[in-house]
Every structure is written in structure tokens, then in C-alpha cells.
């Protein structure tokens, strides 16, 4: 058992300790990643013991979404809780699977992103299962797979067509009611040259030199243009070149060079339009410099933009105020499953959870102990207030 420095013993903390000990690294990032299977087994045992209805939805071999339901006879006010079970690689984090308390923080892989949120949601579901009269409407919890890679767990869940009037997605928001977040366009861009012996470079056409022109255009033209546009909650759209690969050996003029580009979009931008316009602009404006460019889609993700008068937002503000938390609305710069709930199912959604994105994916990942406790109580109160708010 992890040693606590606090005098409280909130059930969500015990749950989070147990979850941290379960390795659930997304295998896309690490050959040793065990995926979400053990986490799903743990959540299923907990929920069945609480008397909740539990079903599994296979997404990949051995990697299932869990759908947990509490039906109280109010399907028109169904509230969806959603949090993912996978984590990024353990990396260089020491004792990543051992929960450690220090200076009011709980350390461990996934503590912040996003097992702290899932622990709080489980607490809310179990409390409502013990006293169904507390729930203001039917409750559904989706514990999903693959959010850290390509959100295919959430997309599979949407295929079930389970109706919901509102949703809260668990991610580290520093206990801020998040109604807007960035999406992204991720692309692989390739320049095509002509190979030649390095002793006769004029006989070739270096794809690496072509790519230098692409990189200069992105840095000198696109970055300042994007920085000049500011969304009131999410800040500016951005573009980052994350990887570059080119050439085969030192004595050959390279005929191919590839970069991977991450273009973050803000509410109001459509990823498919940004993708098309970015490709067309680079191809058109750099053709005169001898650049031969092709692009391949990697990931499209949508921005979240939930109206402040949506029932889920009003219920969240009411729940926060009733337990002494901030009811201010905010935006974040990262993406999550909430935008897909909005885009593909039309479910008004917010993002809410303990911790900060600044601690996610780091080699000292942690979450404030008090955040975990307060997020759990927020989820429980939201389960009640959502049934009291009507458009």
C-alpha cells in the first residue's frame, strides 16, 4: 500500500493507486505495452461488484471498451462519462507502476492522464449504484481504449449508437470546466528528388534540399500567420514538424525526404479543409523553387466547441458551484475524445478532470491529491445536477 501524506482516505485515491499498478501502455508506442486488458478486467470486477451493468466491446484482439450502465428510468437525461484506459510508454519514469505520495502529489504513470479521472468516475458510478435515487438521469460510463494513439476505442463506442443528452470526458483540466479544445491535422509530407552518386551531385536532385525549402516556408511564413490568429479560449493555431527522415547512405544524393507535421486547429477550423489548403498551398507556392511534394494523411481530429448555454455546461457550472469549485469556462490546447462525441454523435460535451496537461506523458507524471478528491465529488454532483437542468 502506498504511504499517504494526507489525513483523508477518499475512495478515489485507493482506486487510483490500484490503477497505477496496472500496466496499460498502448502497444502502438511500445512493443512491451500490454494494452488495456488488465485495466478492463479491474474495472469490470469493480463495477459488477457494485451491481452495475457491464458489457465489453471488442476493439482490437484483447483490447475491449467497457460500457457500464446505471438505468434509473430517465433515459432522456442520460449522462455519459468517458475516460480512456491506455497510457503512453513508461519511458524513463522511475518506478512508473508504483504509486508514490510526496508533497501533496501522487506520482505514477497514468496518474494524471487519465486514470485520476477514471477513478473519480468509478466513484460516482458506484455511489449512484448504491443509491440510485441520487442520480438525476440514467448514467453510462465508457472506459475506452486507444485514445493515446488514434481514438479508435471511442469511434467504436459511437457505432453502438447509445443515446446521451450530455457527456463529460475525463482529461487533466486542472478542475476547469472545458468547453473548447484544439483539434489537429497530422500529415506525412514527402519531397521527391533524383538519386545520383555523391561525386556527381549535379546529376541528381536532392530531396533533402527540397525539404529545407519546405521547412523554411513553414517556419518563416506559416508560423507567423498562425500566431497572428487567436481564439479566445484556445489561443492560436500552431504547426510543428515533429520528425524528418531522408537519404539512404552518405554517398548518394537523396531522392526522398519525409517530414511529419502536426497542425493544431482551433474551433471554427475544419480539419479536412485545413489539410487540403495546407497541401495545396505548399505545393503551389514552392513549385517555383523546384519542390516536388506529396502529402499523406495520418490523423484528422476535430476541435471541441460546446455552447455555454448547453445543458451539460449549465449542469457542470451548477455542480462546481455547489461544492465550492470554480465554475469558470475555459479552453485547452490539446485534443481528446470529447470532440468526436460532438462531431459524430451530436452529444454536447465538456472535458473535466484532475491534474494539468503539463504533467501528462512526463517522466515524473503526477496529479495533486486534492484534485483527485475534488474531481470525484464533482462527477458525483454532476450525475445529480444534470437531471435538474433543462434547456
Distance CA 265, CA 182 (A): 5
- The grid coordinates of residue 325 equal 469549485
The answer to whether position 136 is within a domain reads yes
The answer to whether position 1 is within a domain reads no
pLDDT at 52 over 70: yes
What average pLDDT does this structure show over 49-63?
98
Same structural domain, 98 and 136: yes
Boundary residue ending a domain (259, 278, 301):
301
What is the model's pLDDT at position 283? 97
Same structural domain, 164 and 208: no
CATH number, position 283: 3.30.70.360
What average pLDDT does this structure show over 16-44?
97
Give residues with Cβ within 8 angstroms of 85, minimum separation 6: 24, 36, 39, 40, 43, 66, 115, 118, 143, 144, 145
Q: Which is more confident, 352 or 1?
A: 352
Distance CA 82, CA 36 (A): 15
Other beta carbons within 10 angstroms of residue 226's beta carbon come to: 18
Same structural domain, 214 and 253: yes
Distance CA 263, CA 110 (A): 26
What is the model's pLDDT at position 390? 76
Same structural domain, 113 and 211: no
Kindly indicate the confidence band of residue 216, based on its pLDDT and cuts at 50, 70 and 90. Answer: very high
Is residue 263 left, alpha or beta, with left meaning phi > 0 and alpha meaning psi from -120 to 50? Answer: beta
Give residues with Cβ within 8 angstroms of 144, minimum separation 6: 65, 82, 83, 84, 85, 151, 153, 154, 157, 337
Q: How far is CA 155 from CA 113, 123, 152, 367, in A?
A: 19, 25, 5, 28
Same structural domain, 72 and 177: yes
pLDDT at 273 over 80: yes
- The grid coordinates of residue 68 equal 457500464
Distance CA 47, CA 140 (A): 12
The answer to whether position 241 is within a domain reads yes
What is the model's pLDDT at position 7? 47
What is the model's pLDDT at position 1? 53
Boundary residue ending a domain (276, 301, 326):
301
Same structural domain, 66 and 199: no
Domain span at residue 269?
Answer: 183-301
Percent of the chain with pLDDT strictly greater than 70: 98
Same structural domain, 146 and 226: no
137-165 pLDDT per residue, tens: 999 999 999 999 989 999 999 999 999 99
348-381 pLDDT per residue, tens: 999 999 999 999 999 999 999 999 999 999 999 9
What is the model's pLDDT at position 9? 83
Amino acid at each position: 500500500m502506498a504511504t499517504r501524506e494526507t489525513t483523508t482516505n477518499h475512495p478515489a485515491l485507493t482506486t487510483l493507486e490500484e490503477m497505477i499498478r496496472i500496466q496499460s501502455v498502448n502497444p502502438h508506442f511500445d512493443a512491451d505495452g500490454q494494452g488495456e486488458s488488465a485495466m478492463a478486467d479491474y474495472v469490470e470486477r469493480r463495477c459488477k461488484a457494485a451491481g452495475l451493468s457491464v458489457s465489453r466491446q471488442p476493439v482490437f484482439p484483447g483490447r475491449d471498451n467497457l460500457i457500464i450502465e446505471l438505468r434509473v428510468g430517465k433515459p432522456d437525461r442520460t449522462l455519459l462519462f468517458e475516460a480512456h484506459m491506455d497510457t503512453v510508454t513508461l519511458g524513463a519514469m522511475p518506478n512508473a507502476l508504483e504509486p508514490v505520495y510526496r508533497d501533496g502529489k501522487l506520482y505514477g504513470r497514468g496518474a494524471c492522464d487519465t486514470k485520476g479521472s477514471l477513478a473519480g468516475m468509478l466513484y460516482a458510478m458506484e455511489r449512484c449504484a448504491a443509491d440510485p435515487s441520487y442520480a438525476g438521469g440514467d448514467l453510462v460510463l465508457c472506459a475506452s481504449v486507444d485514445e493515446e494513439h488514434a481514438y479508435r476505442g471511442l469511434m467504436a463506442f459511437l457505432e453502438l449508437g447509445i443515446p446521451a443528452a450530455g457527456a463529460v470526458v475525463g482529461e487533466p483540466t486542472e478542475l476547469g470546466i472545458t468547453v473548447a479544445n484544439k483539434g489537429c491535422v497530422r500529415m506525412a509530407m514527402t519531397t521527391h528528388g533524383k538519386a545520383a552518386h555523391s561525386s556527381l551531385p549535379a546529376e541528381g536532385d536532392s530531396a533533402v534540399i527540397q525539404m529545407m525549402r519546405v521547412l523554411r516556408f513553414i517556419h518563416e511564413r506559416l508560423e507567423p500567420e498562425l500566431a497572428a490568429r487567436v481564439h479566445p479560449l484556445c489561443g492560436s493555431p500552431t504547426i510543428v514538424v515533429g520528425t524528418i527522415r531522408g537519404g539512404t547512405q552518405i554517398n548518394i544524393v537523396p531522392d526522398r525526404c519525409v517530414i511529419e507535421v502536426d497542425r493544431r486547429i482551433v474551433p471554427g477550423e475544419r480539419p479536412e479543409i485545413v489539410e487540403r489548403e495546407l497541401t495545396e498551398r505548399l505545393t503551389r507556392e514552392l513549385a517555383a523553387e523546384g519542390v516536388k511534394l506529396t502529402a499523406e494523411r495520418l490523423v484528422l481530429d476535430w476541435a471541441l466547441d460546446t455552447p455555454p448555454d448547453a445543458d451539460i455546461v449549465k449542469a457542470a457550472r451548477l455542480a462546481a458551484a455547489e461544492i465550492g469549485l470554480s465554475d469558470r469556462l475555459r479552453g485547452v490546447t490539446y485534443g481528446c475524445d470529447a470532440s468526436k462525441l460532438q462531431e459524430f454523435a451530436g452529444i454536447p460535451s465538456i472535458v473535466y478532470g484532475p491534474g494539468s496537461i503539463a504533467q501528462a506523458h512526463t517522466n515524473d507524471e503526477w496529479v495533486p491529491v486534492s484534485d483527485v478528491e475534488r474531481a470525484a465529488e464533482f462527477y458525483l454532483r454532476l450525475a445529480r445536477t444534470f437531471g435538474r437542468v433543462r434547456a
